[in-house]
Amino acid sequence: MRDIAGTVACIDGNTFMVSDSSGDVESSPSTPVGLFAADTRFLSRWRLTVNGECMTALSVDDSQYFEVTFFVVPGAAVDYVEADVSAIRRRRIGPDLTESLTIFNYGEQDMTLDVRLEVAADFADIFEIKFDIGEKRGAHYTHVGPNELRLGYRRGTYQREVVVSASEPAEFGPDGLAFAVRLRPGQQWSTRLQAVMLALRPDGVDLRSALRALRPDDSTLPTSMQAWVAAAPTLDTDSVGLQQVYHRSLVDLAALRFAPLSLGGASVPAAGLPWFMTLFGRDSLLTCLQTLPVAPSLTPPTLRILASLQGVRPDDVLEEDPGRILHELRYGESAAFEEQPHSPYYGTVDASPLFVVLLDEYERWSGDTALVTELEHEARAALAWIDLYADLNSTGYIWYQRRNRATGLDNQCWKDSWDSISYADGRLPGFPRATCETQGYAYDAKIRGARLARTFWGDPAFADRLESEAAALYERFNREFWLEDRGFYALALDHDGTPVDSLSSNIGHLLWSGIVPPERAPRVVEHLMGPALFSGWGVRTFAEGQRRYNPLGYHNGTVWPFDNSFIAWGLRRYGFGNEAARIAEGILSAATYFEGRLPEAFGGFDRDTTKFPIRYPTAGSPQAWSSGACMLLIRTMLGINPHDDHLAVDPALPATFGRIALLDIPGRWGKRDAFARQRPDQR
Amino acid sequence: MSETSAFFERLTVAGQDPRFSKVCGSVRFDIRDDGNLEQWLLEIDHGRMRVTRSGAPATTVIKVSAPLAEAMARGEVNGLAAITRGEIMVDGDLALALRIGRLFPREPGQLQREDPTVGRDR
């Protein structure tokens, strides 16, 4: 897989288009550019030429996620100074792609222009692009009509098709369409191009038609985005950078909302562009946890869809078990033919406890007891999964070992690349493995589950049982994961119980979950904020000095904004306000180098050395939990927490911000404001 | 009797399923075998289930071929994958159809041979 710098994205949930800055798409089998829907590439080529020349962008406006406007001129960058011809491409993504093309003649002569659009569709599954698999099993077809170009792909009963048409007369061919345009001086010409994407059943009906009928008309998109932004609290701050990050994050969260097939039209956050434009259990749950103070409406549909797809039976291919919350859901060809196990895949060990954590946290904010009652059965099943199915060797921990050895994930924690869990000397532990942060989530889930059982489910006996299990887990974990001579928690336990002794960001999540005894917290914090882990921008996933450390290692040394936001939350929980503020300052400052859009991850290089954050080559952007990181960092700086029926505020601002106010924070209290101001003696 | 018929007969006998205590609705299965059409109507009212051979209107209609229905009854079909590849056609409420899918048995997926590559990312 390859990542292309300088690309422009136009997004509407899991439908999106990635092009170059002129609006063109020229993809290869392994580049994630083109028009995508439901994990399938519907356009792999979309290239505009005028009199045989490609276009060059003068400017691009992508401030609205669902619409991008490209101002372009023909020719390479050096030629356009004298250009008489210029064009505007206004692209919009909804269920279909529409693109309004307007060409201007600002010269003094009449012009005859040969305007061409090259079109191709490879119908690649996103996994074929990721793993660079060029061969397709089915057959492509092309139908050229007088008014349309129809490109399709068929494999048995699986059929996908894209239909390209234009509002002005055009000559259609198998490789695209052409317009003969005559323009007098000062004249302009326009056409509206359309690419309709179809996921066809054998009876010719689009299998998403019921869902699409529920979708509001495209013309409501601008107002829908305005309403989304207006519903969120207003941020008032002296920091222009923070204001920009906040606004961008809100818009990106709106962009990533999508309506899964099985949810009756409600939307949930897709995980990230371009690789993860679908439902992930872990990503969506953590994004909801991050965004409760600003966008609580994301949470109920997320919990509901994860509940409706909760595992019911053991399955070694999907790695399903009763009560297990899913990892990943896909609609592409590889999922359809079960070549990939994503229909849905359950290979995660943290989504199940996090499901319970979110349900409880949501109730604390919203007071929505109805949802807690509605999802009682599923929350109990998720809690039962922890003890009945995740404790693979009866030692009282959540372990993982993949059962799908062909296409399952080696590591089923958030650091899910194959080499992310290693000893300090680089050795990889055996299986099963138990990572530390997952035990923290389990502890937190039991504590929170006990509150739900006692307060809402009328089951104090179950609450007592959960609390005693949590206490036993706390004691056991602190005995077996703690490395007394090093002063931190092991990253994981090896299959034989040997602590995996590397220093990692995972220990920060333990503070968030509350499984660290207060007297140990200062030593953990010292490591988190020490030079081996803290880069100046944030806490690295993996500490310098570990054998596999690499500042550009996906999970072995990069800095992940989402990871840092939970660490900051944990620091606040244990009273380390200044340290949480340092992390908030670092991550939010880094965001300003990415035009306010925090990527999935960036390089772990030292801030003093590089002065600016180093882009990670294949980082997803926008990424839901990176957009969410901004929201959670604002929460930690303000120190806002639901406390019975009111909102408690306890600010700890970094020195760079003089003033932060979040106005109209929604919750069980109605709407409340939170203010934070730097004390003069701290500036 | 076909596996499909046996499956629906079992549902008729069961009558009640606590997993569907919050579910209300009707689902009709249209099973096509060449020219023949076999229809089963499943009505759910807060977990109480009534199964009849009927072509009466339903909020959700699931259209499958007879061989696929047999495979479903044997527990060999991943419903979501089959919908995505067009082998199961659902008209109406897809969420309800997926819930109903849980009534079907499911053979545990078979363990596969070890992949020679080291590992993979998500």
CATH number at residue A56: 2.70.98.40
Residue A444 and residue A353 share a domain: yes
Residue A203 and residue A247 share a domain: no
Residues 6 or more apart whose CB falls under 8 angstroms from that of B77 comprise B68, B71, B88, B104
Beta carbons of A343 and B112 less than 8 Å apart: no
pLDDT category of residue B121 using cuts at 50, 70 and 90: very low
Picking from B89, B93, B111, the nearest residue to A405 by CB comes out as B111
Residue by residue, DSSP assigns A280-338 as EHHHHHHHHHHHTTT-GGGHHHHHHHHHHT---S-BTTTTB-TTPPPSEE--SHHHHTT
Is residue B22 scored above 90 in pLDDT? no
* pLDDT number for residue B112: 40
Which chain B residue's Cα is nearest to A280? Answer: B122
Interface predicted TM-score (ipTM): 0.89
Chain B residues with CB under 8 Å of a chain A CB are: 19, 22, 63, 78, 80-81, 83-87, 89-95, 98-99, 102, 106, 108-115, 118-122
pLDDT category of residue B116 using cuts at 50, 70 and 90: very low
Copy the structure tokens of residue A229. Answer: 């932004």
Distance CA A411, CA A405 (A): 12
Report DSSP state, residue A682.
Answer: G
Total structural domains within chain A: 2
Residue A302 and residue A191 share a domain: no
Residue A143 and residue A266 share a domain: no
Which chain A residue's Cα is nearest to B110? Answer: A316
Query: Would you say the C-alpha torsion A463, A467, A468, A469 has a positive or negative sign?
Result: positive
Residue A264 and residue A333 share a domain: yes
Residue A441 forms part of a structural domain:
yes
Residue A578 forms part of a structural domain:
yes
A599: CATH: 1.50.10.10
Query: How many angstroms separate the CA of residue A128 from the nearest CA in chain B?
Result: 13
Residues of B with Cβ-Cβ distance to A335 under 8 angstroms:
80-81, 84
Longest dimension (CA), chain A: 87
Copy the structure tokens of residue A358. Answer: 């979110």
Distance CA A264, CA A586 (A): 40
Residues A2, A58: contact at Cβ < 8 Å?
A: no
Going along chain B from its start, the domains and CATH numbers come out as 3-101 (3.30.1050.10)
Copy the structure tokens of residue A14. Answer: 């899991």
Distance CA A39, CA A16 (A): 10
Domain ranges, residue A114: 8-213
Pairing of strands B36-45, A34-37: unpaired
Residue A336 and residue A249 share a domain: yes
Beta carbons of A416 and B122 less than 8 Å apart: yes
* pLDDT number for residue B100: 85
Distance CA A517, CA A364 (A): 24
Low-confidence ranges of chain A (pLDDT < 50): 1-3, 683
Distance CA A266, CA A272 (A): 18
Pairing of strands A139-144, A188-200: unpaired
Beta carbons of B122 and A335 less than 8 Å apart: no
* pLDDT number for residue A80: 53
* pLDDT number for residue B19: 73
Choose one of A162, A191, A213: the last residue of a domain: A213
Distance CA A561, CA A558 (A): 10
Distance CA A124, CA A126 (A): 6
Residues A64, A85: contact at Cβ < 8 Å?
A: no
User: Taking the CA atoms of chain B, what radius of gyration do you get in angstroms?
Assistant: 16
Query: Would you say the C-alpha torsion A167, A173, A177, A183 has a positive or negative sign?
Result: negative
Distance CA A304, CA A214 (A): 18
Instruction: Assess whether the previous peptide bond of A460 is cis (omega < 30° from 0).
Output: no
pLDDT tens per residue across span A145-202: 999 999 999 999 999 999 999 999 999 999 999 999 999 999 999 999 999 999 999 9
Residue A358 forms part of a structural domain:
yes
pLDDT tens per residue across span A401-435: 999 999 999 999 999 999 999 999 999 999 999 99
Residues A287, A624: contact at Cβ < 8 Å?
A: yes
Strands (E), chain B: 24-33, 36-45, 48-52, 60-65, 89-91
Choose one of A213, A231, A249: the last residue of a domain: A213
- Distance linking the first and last C-alpha atoms of chain A: 47
Residue A231 and residue A147 share a domain: no
Residue A230 and residue A207 share a domain: no
Residue A404 and residue A388 share a domain: yes
Residue A540 forms part of a structural domain:
yes
Residue A1 forms part of a structural domain:
no
Choose one of A148, A180, A213: the last residue of a domain: A213
pLDDT tens per residue across span A619-671: 788 999 999 999 999 999 999 999 989 999 999 999 999 999 999 999 999 99
Residue A643 forms part of a structural domain:
yes
Residues of B with Cβ-Cβ distance to A405 under 8 angstroms:
111-115
Residues 6 or more apart whose CB falls under 8 angstroms from that of A154 comprise A138, A139, A141
Nearest one of A639, A628, A519 to A580, comparing CA atoms: A639
* pLDDT number for residue A78: 62
Residue A290 and residue A187 share a domain: no
| Dihedral pair phi/psi, residue A499, rounded to 5° | -65, 130
Residue A251 and residue A113 share a domain: no
Compute the count of residue pairs across chains A and B with CB atoms less than 8 Å apart: 116
∠ CA A355-A358-A364, nearest 5°, is 145
Residue A484 and residue A394 share a domain: yes
Residue A2 forms part of a structural domain:
no
Nearest one of A605, A515, A588 to A553, comparing CA atoms: A605
Distance CA A634, CA A580 (A): 11
